[in-house]
Amino acid sequence: MSFNLLVLICLLYVALLFVLAAWAEGRAAIGGTRILRAPLIYPLSLSIYCTAWTFYGAVGYAARSGLEFVTIYLGPTLVFIGWWVILRKLVRIGRVHRVTSIADLISSRFGKSNLLGVTVTLIAVTASTPYIALQLQSVTQSFAVFASDTPQGWALPNGSATAAWVAGGLALFTILFGTRNLASNEQHHGIVTAIAFEAVVKLAALLAVGVFVVWGLGGGPSAVAGKIAALDLASWRPDASRWTALIFVSAAAIITLPRMFNVMVVENIDSAHLARASWAFPAYLFLMSLFILPIAVVGMERLPTANPDMLVLTLPLSEGQGALAMLAFLGGFSSATSMVIVETIALATMISNHIIMPAWLRLRPKAAMRSDLRAWVLRARRLSIIAVLGLGLEYFRLSGGSSNLAAMGLIAFVGMAQVLPAVLGGIFWRGATGVGAMLGMVAGIAVWAGLLFLPSFGAAIDPDGMGKDLFGPHWAWPAAFFGAADMDPLVHAIFWSMLVNITLFILGSLLTFPGPVERVQGAAFVNVFDQDIAADRLGWVQGQAEPEALLAMAQRIIGEDAAISLFEEAARAQGKGGFLPDLTPDFLSMLERRMAGSVGAATAHAMISQLFGRAMVTVEDLMAVANETVQILEYSTRLESQQAEVTRTARALREANEKLTAISVQKDAFLGQISHELRTPMTSIRAFSEILTEGDLPPEKVAEFGAVIHAEALRLTRLLDDLLDLSVLENGSVQLNIATANLGALIDRALAASSQTRPERSFDIQRAPSQEEIFLRTDEGRLVQVFINLISNARKYCDANSPTLRIAVRQKGAKVLVDFIDNGTGIPKDQQGIIFEKFARLSDTAAVGGAGLGLAICREVMASLGGTISYLPGQKGAAFRVSIPLRIGRAV
């Protein structure tokens, strides 16, 4: 097989993934998460646990150390079957607190401390670097295997050049899919779908090779079993301490590895999926491990000199099974790419959220509040992705390409396991403190670096040399203390790093007192299933920030649509219309958590604090809130709930009473308004008709006064029409005339009909006709009526020198949003709330005419069409948003 063909197949495969990811992303964008809800997507996406290490390296591992490779599968299986309480709690916390990464989890739990976030990020980057290098290496090696197999004798020019190309390609793919947008929950539907697909490919490939080896080469299951029995494996007994240690680190890995945390917690869209994964994922692991031993045994027998790490590939190749080898190659390629992509995204999120963004916020606080943060965050992510892959590549070059895949993977496992005590302590132990977590992690990682990480540079790693530490043999004396003088070096490293880590974590936590935010967060995390009160009231007292300023900031972080609908929902939940809710502590905490999903908990907290300026809570306030929270959580007695019930009832009664009074006042005001609007034209008509009946007028005066009477009579008719229309609409007795209509054509009609409003003024309309190609099932006439009203209003009231109206159309789910935004001064904030009321005219009638019923009618029309109309604050001029269901009658 030629090298070009191989590269072409790789590119085609990546293109296929790309299309798949784009398709899933597209479906998710229009609200279709059905693919992601497919039963097996979640367990399949968890299979990124199985990297190239598992795919190629497990056979090598089995060839070197017999059954020990099973420990790497046993750890996760035990966690999923026996300890899924931990996972359930993690997933729940992840969803409630919108955790974006394992660094964010720890930072958020221990008082939103960014120092901890940075520490975990650094640990994760350091520990993952060998792991990423391992993937690059396996892809490079598999290329090389194909290279040496060809008769033409093409050879890879140089291993690190190939690795560099692979790293570059992966960086590109990751950037394209991982940083296309900044979802506030940090979920990447496209990527999840792609890695689920890759999971199938790698399983199919390994099973195919296994079947070929057992039935094609080994002569059937019984013959292979005989071969296995013939080895010394039969009399082999596991080394208990090594097995325990390996099962422990692989169990820790499933929780702490950045990519595992990412797919398991961050990308989880339904906690019910976890229950299914508790059997499906172990089943996947079982299938993946089924043929490892046969392949190793048959491989060693047939190709005794080959690199055992590549047997999955070299075995079919040596038998002339090109297609099978190609499948195996793609399986390995899938394992490597899916791991690198997700790991890189997870690490890049941590780096940008915990290092780059906080640094930027600190250095340029003013600029950070003004500019478009989303673009900035995305840029930071992209740079981080390139940096992470660059580090992996550099490690690959420095370590000289180890010949032992499993050793490199284990180094990463042990490194990330240093985060485990802080995670478990954080979610199960209220007394855990940030200081303890920090001490434990730093000390643990230092031991890891000294015993495993640093020695891995330079010469090739051999498993027996692992753990020959930098401190010399005398350091090993404590092993004798436990009655195992010849303690295994890897076990030695795991044991000492975890012992130091856990001891310091517990001591540090016992000896320090948590800060107020930390206490609140601690309670919220540990008691996540009881209530989320604690998280809901994260100590925001009424501040001085303007809701509009907050909205502007939120738009830049979580995106315009998401921010507007978030604010709108919050306002509705508070019983208000429009887009600007009251800044209650609940709302602020909710907003903070949403923002935390994009920029991390610590940064979000800092940003809202910045906007609040001095209104930020004091330590005393926080202590008060913390105490209150603890009380609520710990003594949520029946008395309190009864009292709450009484208070609620009283409030409901008070609100009902206020509403009745308000309705009565409104009715009075309405009658006064009606009277005024009817009497005004009648006054002119009566006065002029009395003058006319006196008879001694020059003819031109007669004509002039007659024209006035006529105009005022028309005005009176129009007013009565409007009133009747409004009354019909308000009663809900309106007859709708439903038909299919093209939105663009409706806007054309409205523009034509409203061109006679102030025709003397030049008026510029901006549209994007391509967006308007939307077909609606609605009442055309009624919808055009609304459009005419809005366009006429803009023509009447827009006070810019060269008035311009922008009409923007966007489809969002089953709704169409039509925005009418002019470039005038807009509507003052104190009046935005009343413009949809009857007779809520803002300027004088003399200039523009009209009775002030237009927007009230628009509101009623939109309600009868199943849509809404609202004022859109925070734009430059007056801005109205009309939301229309694509098909009337369907729930929106």
Cα–Cα distances in Å, from 702 out to 344, 417, 432, 685, 714? 85, 98, 93, 13, 18
Distances (CA, A) of 197 to 35, 191, 200, 279, 346: 12, 10, 5, 19, 20
Q: What is d(CA 97, CA 536) in angstroms, rounded to the nearest whole number?
A: 10
The first and second tokens of residue 203, run together, are 């399983």
- Stretch of 449-457, 578-586, 704-712, 804-812 lying at the interface with other proteins (CB under 8 A): 704-712
* Candidate ranges 80-88, 104-112, 688-696, 738-746; the one touching other proteins (CB under 8 A): 688-696
Cβ-proximal residues to 616 (8 Å cutoff; 6+ apart), any chain: 543, 609
At closest approach, how far in Å is the CB of 112 from other proteins? 51
* Residue among 358 and 824 whose Cβ is closer to other proteins: 824
Per CB under 8 A, the list member of 369, 691, 765, 848 interacting with other proteins is: 691
β partners of residue 99:
none
Residue 717 Cβ, how far from other proteins at the closest point, in Å?
Answer: 16
Closest CA to 771 of 823, 806, 822: 806
Please choose, out of 31-39, 183-191, 624-632, 679-687, the segment that lies near other proteins by the rule CB under 8 A.
Answer: 679-687
CA distance 297 to 64: 11
Residue 708 interacts with other proteins (CB under 8 A): yes or no: yes
Task: Give the shortest CB-845-to-other proteins separation in angstroms.
Answer: 7
For other proteins, the binding residues in 80-109 under the rule CB under 8 A are none
Which of residues 613 and 672 has its CB atom nearest to other proteins in the complex? 672
CB of 708 to other proteins, least distance (A): 5
Q: Which string of DSSP letters, residue by residue, matches 662-704?
A: HHHHHHHHHHHHHHHHHHHHHHHHHHHHHHHHH----HHHHHH
761 binds other proteins (CB under 8 A): no
Tell me whether residue 659 or residue 676 sits nearer to other proteins (CB atom): 676
> With contact defined as beta carbons under 8 Å apart, do 326 and 9 qualify?
yes
Q: Which is nearer to other proteins, 343 or 712 (CB)?
A: 712
Contact with other proteins (CB under 8 A): which of 362, 686, 812, 876? Answer: 686
Q: Residue 22, Cα to own-chain centre: how many angstroms?
A: 16
107-115, 667-675, 736-744, 810-818 -> range binding other proteins (CB under 8 A): 667-675
Residues 452-471 that bind other proteins (CB under 8 A): none
Classify residue 265 by its DSSP letter: I
- Residues forming beta bridges with residue 818, ordered by sequence position: 809, 882
- The three-class DSSP label of residue 864 is helix
Among 232, 486, 620, 690, binds other proteins (CB under 8 A): 690
Q: Does 687 bind other proteins (CB under 8 A)?
A: yes
Per CB under 8 A, contacts with other proteins among 39-58 are none
> Could you give phi then psi for residue 799, rounded to 5 degrees?
-105, 20
Position among 672, 706, 769, 813 found at the interface with other proteins (CB under 8 A) = 672
- Judged by CB under 8 A, the stretch of 293-301, 335-343, 572-580, 707-715 that binds other proteins is 707-715
For 84, the 3-state DSSP assignment is: helix
Q: How far is the CB of 714 from other proteins (least distance, A)?
A: 12
Among 37, 364, 659, 676, binds other proteins (CB under 8 A): 676
**Least distance between other proteins and beta carbon 864 (Å):** 31
Of 714, 777, 713, 780, give the one whose Cα is nearest residue 745. 780
Helices 434-448 + 420-428 axis angle, to 10: 160
* SS3 state at 576: coil
CA distance 870 to 817: 11
Name the minimum Å distance from CB 702 to other proteins: 12
Q: Which is nearer to other proteins, 85 or 846 (CB)?
A: 846
As measured in angstroms, the least distance from the Cβ of 679 to other proteins is 4
Told to check if 232 binds other proteins by CB under 8 A, we report: no
Residue burial 694-706, b: 16+ Cβ < 10 Å; e: rest:
eeeeeeeeeeebe
Stretch that binds other proteins, among 63-71, 268-276, 682-690, 722-730 (CB under 8 A): 682-690
Residue closer to other proteins by CB (options 248, 688) is 688
Q: Kindly write out the interface string for residues 824-843 of this chain, putting x where it contacts other proteins by CB under 8 A and - elsewhere.
A: -------------------x
* Identified binder of other proteins from the candidate list 287, 573, 644, 682, rule CB under 8 A: 682
Q: How far is CA 59 from the centre of its chain?
A: 37
Nearer to other proteins, 572 or 710 (CB): 710
Give the residue with the Cβ less far from other proteins, 165 or 705.
705
Query: By C-alpha distance, which of 523, 533, 518 is closest to 429?
Result: 523
Q: Give the Cα separation of 328 and 29 in Å (integer).
A: 34
Q: Check if the beta carbon of residue 53 is closer than 8 Å to that of residue 202.
A: no
Residue type, 37: R
In whole angstroms, how close is the CB of 849 to other proteins at the nearest point? 10
Q: Which residues share a beta bridge with 870?
A: 881
Q: Which residues share a beta bridge with 696?
A: none
Q: Residue 649 or 845: which CB sits closer to other proteins?
A: 845
Alpha-helix runs per DSSP H in 150-220: 159-178, 189-211
User: Under rule CB under 8 A, which residues in 162-181 are in contact with other proteins?
Assistant: none
699 φ, ψ (degrees, to nearest 5): -55, -35
556: amino acid identity, one letter: R
Cβ nearer to other proteins, comparing 89 with 758: 758
Q: Find the binder of other proteins among 642, 683, 717, 766 (CB under 8 A).
A: 683
Place of tokens 């993952």: 128
Taking CB under 8 A as the rule, does residue 845 contact other proteins? yes
Query: In the complex, what is the shortest distance from the CB of residue 661 to other proteins, in angstroms, rounded to a whole number?
Result: 17
Site size with other proteins, rule: CB under 8 A: 22
Q: Which is nearer to other proteins, 469 or 677 (CB)?
A: 677
Compute the distance between CA of residue 45 and CA of residue 335 in angstroms, rounded to an integer: 11
* Contact (CB, 8 A) for 695 and 667: no
Candidate list 232, 575, 844, 891; residue touching other proteins; CB under 8 A: 844
Binding other proteins (rule: CB under 8 A), the pick from 525, 688, 797, 836 is: 688
Of 309, 343, 488, 712, which one interacts with other proteins (CB under 8 A)?
712
- Chain residues 846-875 in contact with other proteins, contact rule CB under 8 A: 846
Q: Which residues contact 243 (CB under 8 A, 6 or more apart)?
A: 68, 71
Q: Is residue 664 a contact point for other proteins (CB under 8 A)?
A: no
Contact status: 785 vs other proteins (CB under 8 A): no
Binding span for other proteins by CB under 8 A among 73-81, 546-554, 680-688, 875-883 = 680-688
Say how far apart CA 380 and CA 176 lie, in whole Å. 14
Which residues on neighbouring strands pair with residue 804, listed in sequence order?
Answer: 764
CB 490 within 8 A of CB 467: yes
Region of residue 207 (left: phi > 0; alpha: psi -120 to 50; beta: else) = alpha
Indicate which single residue of 318, 403, 531, 680 sits in contact with other proteins (rule: CB under 8 A): 680
Q: Which residues pair with 766 in a beta bridge?
A: 806
Q: Is 375 or 682 the residue whose CB approaches other proteins more closely?
A: 682
> Exactly one of 659, 667, 679, 710 binds other proteins (CB under 8 A); which one?
679
Q: In this structure, are residues 818 and 746 in contact, taking their beta carbons and an 8 Å threshold?
A: no
Q: How far is the CB of 803 from other proteins (least distance, A)?
A: 21
- Residue 367 half-sphere exposure toward CB, CA atoms < 13 A: 9
Residue of 225, 711, 713, 736 interacting with other proteins (CB under 8 A): 711
Q: Which is nearer to other proteins, 232 or 844 (CB)?
A: 844
Closer by beta carbon to other proteins, 512 or else 680: 680
Binding footprint of other proteins on the chain (CB under 8 A): 671-672, 675-676, 679-680, 682-688, 690-691, 708, 711-712, 843-846
